[in-house]
């Protein structure tokens, strides 16, 4: 997939890795923050068990709010792909930190061990078993703080998400009871975390093996080699704790993480230097300094000046967003161009998307109509591009269709405009009331050229027809007639790829450029013209039911 690409309200910018799910660095375009987006692959979607575990991870993770557990901001399904949105962490996983020798001194190692243990205590307090504890799933950020990650196979006490006879988990850290197919308990996580502590101090895994059979045999029958810990000068208290945590018999292990935490805290206290008594010293009186009264007299004018400056900047920013001129003149209601009249969409908040997110947009102008053949043909001629006989013969007032995304974008640029962003298109269509349709909440086939419209032709109608279709701002045919290209990259879903097979040669791929179209067309029922609905299309698609319109902003003068 070519990045950056738009996925819902997230712009995916960098691929971070993955297997059955792929993780991307992304930008939340509504809240303006950097996040990590985890998206299930088509292969994962096809496997019911994988899909179920992925959705379970989203629900489980979102419910856990703790300083040492990765934060989940959002989850759901977009374009047929389940996804999870997480905080973007800077740093490295514990596996890389161990490998690169960046754990620091023993005090820092104990701090890391304690933070991970406290996260797992919180998980267990919420009646969950992680079941896949390993260095890869513990992240150490750039400030040294630990985050527990990846709850893809976590389960509650009464939910099973694995197939009979198949245990999920990373083999090197699996407890003997997991290998035997027994029920996982809190002591199963204690075992795995003991293996993590071993690896932190020894620098190598406690279990070695090159095949599943040899790894499982070692887990079931071979005691871990504690001499490697002693060779690294690990504290005897730590060695004893690891030995108990990794016992083959669950009953021998600590029964809960509070026990593990208590042991680690004792070790940390033993390392801490004795408190040094300190004597409070009174500060000597200032000589020749400025008095409090004089200081206030000096600061007051400065504070007033800063307040005036802040007010001026606020007003200037507000006027910029609203498109108000320096003399206070508001933007005119109409912007005349050589390619048609444009209508003002005032600055302000509106309700965006099917969840009605409150979004602030600056002032802009939108074409009153879809771009007609008359203007698009003039653009092609001016640019020295071929105008087909079919296009010349078409009614000049009909919307220009069979236009690729790049051709639509090129026209808008030539006309001194640009294609609208999804938010701009949607605000122009639904107004400030958050309506589902340009005219209100209820579908009305009398107000749009759609399938089922009384007198419908099963084809596009002139762009300046049907004044009853007008939006709150006066734009026509923003529901029905033809779909309209908007400027947003998309991540194609499996159904979208399949649906475009019959329209394009060669068939589309997920790696090529995909864009968004909005508004529905004459070929769709009225329900498809809901203003927050969309159509996902390859940018190279030429379709008889897809056209476009442009927008313009005052800063484009």
Burial class (CB in 10 A: 0-12, 13-18, 19+), 199: buried
pLDDT at 319 over 80: no
pLDDT at 155: 47
pLDDT at 357 over 80: no
Say what the alpha-carbon torsion angle 368, 370, 376, 378 is, to the nearest 10 degrees.
-30
Give the three-class secondary structure for 525.
coil
Q: Which residues of 373-410 are buried (b: 16+ CB within 10 A; e: fewer)?
A: bbbbbbbbeeeeeeeeeebeebebebbbbbbbbebbbb
pLDDT at 353 over 50: yes
Burial class (CB in 10 A: 0-12, 13-18, 19+), 501: exposed
Which of the four pLDDT bands, split at 50, 70 and 90, describes residue 453?
low
Question: 452 near 526, Cβ under 8 Å?
Answer: yes
How many whole angstroms from its chain centre is CA 13? 11
Rounded percentage of the chain residues whose pLDDT exceeds 70: 85
Query: Quick one: tokens of 549?
Result: 């319109």
Average pLDDT, the chain: 84
Which of the four pLDDT bands, split at 50, 70 and 90, describes residue 307?
low
pLDDT at 259 over 80: yes
pLDDT at 276 over 90: no
Give the C-alpha separation, 256 to 174, whole Å. 17
Question: 457 near 481, Cβ under 8 Å?
Answer: no
Question: 406 near 487, Cβ under 8 Å?
Answer: no
Catalytic residue ranges: 132
Give the C-alpha separation, 8 to 54, whole Å. 19
Give the C-alpha separation, 68 to 152, whole Å. 17
pLDDT at 21: 83
Q: What are 522-537's pLDDT values in tens digits? A: 988 888 788 888 888 9
Beta carbons within 8 Å of 113's beta carbon, 6+ residues apart: 197, 200, 264
- The count of other CB atoms within 10 Å of the CB of residue 243 is 17
pLDDT at 316 over 60: no
CA atoms within 13 A on the CB side of 500: 25
pLDDT at 153: 53
Q: Which residues of 331-352 are buried (b: 16+ CB within 10 A; e: fewer)?
A: beeebeeebbebbbbbbeebbb
Q: What are 149-192's pLDDT values in tens digits? A: 887 555 444 333 333 333 344 689 999 998 888 888 999 999 99
| DSSP annotation of 90 | P
Query: Quick one: tokens of 325?
Result: 């001129």
User: What average pLDDT does range 282-309 have in this prediction?
Assistant: 50
Q: What are 462-507's pLDDT values in tens digits? A: 999 999 889 999 999 999 999 999 998 877 777 778 888 888 889 9
Question: 365 near 552, Cβ under 8 Å?
Answer: yes
Instruction: Please report the domains of the chain, with CATH numbers, ordered by start residue.
Output: 5-87 (3.30.200.20), 91-271 (1.10.510.10), 334-556 (3.90.1580.10)
Give the C-alpha separation, 471 to 535, whole Å. 21
């Amino acid at each position: 997939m070519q990045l950056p690409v738009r996925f819902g309200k997230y712009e995916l910018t960098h691929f971070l890795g993955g297997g059955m799910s792929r993780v991307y660095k992304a930008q939340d375009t509504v809240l303006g923050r950097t996040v990590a987006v985890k998206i299930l692959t088509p292969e994962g979607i096809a496997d019911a068990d994988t899909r179920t575990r992925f959705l379970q991870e989203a629900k489980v993770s979102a419910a856990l709010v703790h300083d040492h557990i990765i934060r989940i901001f959002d989850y759901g399904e977009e374009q047929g792909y389940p996804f999870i949105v997480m905080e973007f962490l800077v740093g490295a996983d514990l596996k890389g930190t161990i490998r690169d020798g960046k754990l620091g001194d023993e005090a820092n190692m104990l701090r890391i061990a304690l933070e991970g243990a406290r996260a797992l205590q919180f998980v267990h307090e919420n009646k969950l078993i992680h079941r896949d504890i390993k260095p890869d799933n513990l992240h150490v950020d750039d400030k040294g703080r630990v985050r527990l990650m990846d709850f893809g196979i976590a389960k509650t006490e009464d939910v099973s998400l694995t197939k009979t006879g198949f245990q999920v988990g990373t083999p090197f850290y699996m407890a003997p009871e997991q290998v035997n197919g027994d029920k996982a308990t809190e002591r199963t996580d204690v075992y795995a975390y003991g293996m993590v502590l071993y690896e932190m101090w020894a620098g190598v895994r406690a279990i070695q093996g090159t095949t599943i059979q040899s790894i499982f045999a070692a887990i079931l029958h071979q005691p871990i080699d504690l001499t490697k810990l002693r060779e690294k000068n690990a504290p005897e208290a730590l060695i004893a704790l690891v030995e108990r945590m990794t016992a083959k018999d669950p009953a021998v292990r600590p029964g809960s993480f509070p026990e593990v935490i208590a042991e680690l805290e004792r070790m940390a206290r033993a390392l801490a230097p004795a408190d040094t008594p300190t004597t409070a010293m009174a500060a000597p009186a200032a000589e020749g300094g400025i008095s409090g009264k004089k200081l206030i007299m000096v600061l007051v004018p400065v504070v007033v000046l800063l307040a005036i400056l802040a007010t001026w900047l606020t007003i200037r920013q507000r006027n910029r967003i609203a498109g108000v001129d320096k003399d206070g003149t508001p933007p005119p209601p109409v912007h005349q161009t050589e390619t048609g009249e444009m209508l003002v969409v005032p600055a302000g908040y509106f309700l965006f998307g099917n969840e009605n997110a409150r979004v602030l947009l600056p002032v802009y102008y939108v074409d009153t109509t879809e771009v007609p053949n008359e203007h698009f043909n003039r653009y092609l001629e001016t640019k020295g591009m071929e105008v087909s006989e079919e296009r010349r013969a078409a009614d000049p007032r009909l919307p220009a269709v069979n236009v690729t995304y790049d051709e639509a974008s090129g026209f808008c640029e030539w006309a001194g405009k640009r294609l609208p962003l999804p938010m701009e298109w949607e605000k122009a269509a639904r107004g400030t009331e958050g309506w589902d349709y340009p005219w209100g909440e209820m579908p009305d086939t009398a107000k749009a050229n759609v399938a089922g419209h009384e007198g419908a032709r099963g084809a596009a109608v002139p762009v300046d027809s049907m004044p009853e279709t007008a939006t709150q701002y006066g734009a026509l045919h923003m529901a029905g007639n033809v779909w309209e290209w908007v400027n947003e990259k998309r991540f194609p879903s499996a159904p979208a790829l399949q649906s475009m097979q019959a329209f394009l040669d060669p068939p589309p791929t997920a790696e090529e450029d995909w864009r968004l179209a909005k508004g529905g067309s004459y070929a769709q029922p009225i329900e498809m013209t809901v203003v927050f609905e969309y159509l996902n299309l390859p940018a190279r698609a030429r379709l008889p039911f897809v056209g476009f319109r442009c927008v313009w902003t005052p800063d484009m003068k």
